[in-house]
A and B are shown apart, each in its own frame.
Chain A
Amino acid sequence: MKTLIKQDYSLENCPVTEKLFTATGFCRLTFYAPSVTTEAQPGQFVMVHMPASSGRYMLPRPYSICSVDRENGQLVIFFEVGGRGGELISTVEPGTTLRLLGPLGRGFPKPQAGSLLVAGGMGIAPLVFLAKSTTVPRTLIYGSRTAARMACPREDLDLPGLTVVEVTEDGSRGERGTACEIAERYIPSSSAVFACGPRQLLAALAEAAAERDIAAWVSVEERMACGIGACLGCAVRTDQGYMRVCKDGPVFPAGEVNLQDEHTECLCQSGGN
């Protein structure tokens, strides 16, 4: 008798239903992907295969799930166009079908009241999904270098119970400073921290949360090939040795993962891949 290990992901052809450049160089793609949306949890991701028409041998690319509409089977990914994969994917038009593998990985735990969500740049993508998953009082710090790079539309973050604090390094939108500086003000009064963004930001948040003994979860990135835990290409160093970002993560308890190592940023749609 064959004992299948139940895998809750699938590989399906999914039509693109909408494409929107929310700012120059920032692409939001919506797919009809009911088999993914029914299972997807905030913090999980999908592997998006290259358009068949491209005829190129390129690996599928991992993208955090930015939001889902379960009723209508709609799934949104949101990324900065950069690197060969993202560029190719951003050229598809609604009606085109791409293969999607997902939902993959371990997501965030459910945020309780008083949670602090911190997004650096395109780290906003999985945090939109997380912010939408609850109505308890929670705060989102959304940081970026400059206003032109705050690509997430304001209406996406207009959610019941959510306080949004915008911050830019040049002060062109919201407060002036870094997401980390602002977060440090909020951490002492927060119940838990959920973050996605550059490793430097995650490392600083992990330290600030640990000092006050506040639980923190971070979503980390690494180059991937299979996305399902087979190839061991996306290793990250943790307390228990190397673990797989795609299967054991991408969300890890902040204290357990080494955030100082050499790494590449590519899961969270931050271009460059």
Chain B
Amino acid sequence: MSIPSACVNLGGIELDTPVLAASGPFGHGREFEVLLDFNSLGGIIAKGVSLEPWPGNPPPRIAETASGLLNAVGLHNPGLNKFIEDDLPLLRELGPKIIVNIIGKNVKDYASVAAGLNGIEGISGLEINVSCPNLKAGGLSFGTDPDLTYCVVAAVRRETALPLLVKLTPNVNDIVSVAIAAEEAGADVISLINTLSGMIIDIEKKKPFLGNRFGGLSGPAIMPVALKMVWQVSEAVQVPVLGMGGITSASDAIQFILAGARAVAVGSGLFYDPDLPAKITGGILAYMSKHKVTSLSELEGLAHTGGDKVEV
């Protein structure tokens, strides 16, 4: 029997392993240089980049919750030019494929960031974060509306030939309709989920704990929510799905693949354990051997068809 391979093609991006670093917690990667075996990561999705620098939210920006992490960093980033000059040269030396997460306050901003990255060496794809507040729609995020999502994705699609991932927010009534809109507008991959909106209150000060009042919840607390949404979206779209949300083990990652994800990303999990990508990659290979599977395509979405037939 041949050796199992963890290689996957994610919307045109060839990955050596199906594990990526999610945009956000990982920053621009270089801080993790001494902590992480980059061979265990198929790709790195860089922290959200906007056209101009964004200052981020006032502190406190993070709080720990039961099996979760609530953050309101506010997409603090140095802007496109500084990203290209300072961060990208280091990122592309790390080894894994680099995908740049792009953010904006209006459709034109998103398109401009995508255009600004054209011709820059070492970028394998773009990921559109449609969770940003849309200033024209009173701060409501683009990703809460299929039409707005379509507009943003179509505008970016016109500017770039790179594989395009669209990262959906779970804070919606019907994520499937948003996913379909993204696919119709030209997405090559649907990434999900972003953080779940939440808050905590400081009972001594009698006010919201976070400087921004509301934050986004990540971590193992949200994993079942993410898994269900990956299940639903993968049934509805033809393009591959990148699953994320609270993954802290190989078993979690395998659940996402069985639910329909082509690949998975880890975010907050890296804070608990920087060895997580290596453990997931190793665990997936061991699972493949045990279940006599040589390609991950045999597992993708398998849970939808009732899984293995009971052996007699």
Contact = CB atoms under 8 A, between A and B. Distances in A.
Most buried by B among A60, A223, A237: A223
Contact of A232 (B29, B32, B73, B268): B73
A236 B271 CA distance: 20
Interface stretch (A128-136, A143-151, A257-265): A257-265
Nearest to A5: B30
Contact of A226 (B31, B33, B67, B219): B31
B60 interface: yes
B75 to A, nearest CB: 9
A235 interface: yes
B274 A60 contact: no
Contacts of B59: 222, 234-237, 242, 261-264
B114 interface: no
Given A241-B55, A242-B76, A262-B58, A225 B274 contact: no
Interface of A: 2-5, 7, 9-11, 49, 56-60, 84-85, 101, 222-226, 228-237, 241-242, 247, 261-264, 273
- The interface residues of chain B, by DSSP majority, are classed as loop
Given A7-B33, A230-B27, A235 B61 contact: yes
A7 B28 CA distance: 15
B32 A264 contact: no
B27 A234 contact: no
Contacts of B220: 57
A59 B220 CA distance: 12
B69 A59 contact: yes
B35 A101 contact: yes
B56 A226 contact: no
B56 A235 contact: yes
Most buried by B among A2, A49, A242, A261: A242
Given A10-B34, A223-B63, A263-B60, A230 B26 contact: yes
B62 interface: yes
Given A57-B248, A241-B55, A223 B62 contact: yes
A9 B27 CA distance: 17
A234 B61 contact: yes
Given A232-B73, A233-B71, A226 B60 contact: no
28 contacts: A4-B33, A7-B31, A7-B33, A11-B34, A49-B272, A57-B220, A59-B64, A59-B272, A101-B35, A223-B60, A223-B62, A226-B31, A229-B27, A230-B28, A231-B25, A231-B26, A231-B62, A231-B71, A231-B271, A232-B27, A232-B47, A234-B59, A235-B73, A261-B58, A262-B60, A263-B59, A264-B60, A264-B209
A232 B55 contact: no
A57 B67 contact: yes
Interface in B80-107: 90, 93
Contacts of B211: 262
Interface string B167-210: 00000000000000000000000000000000000000000010
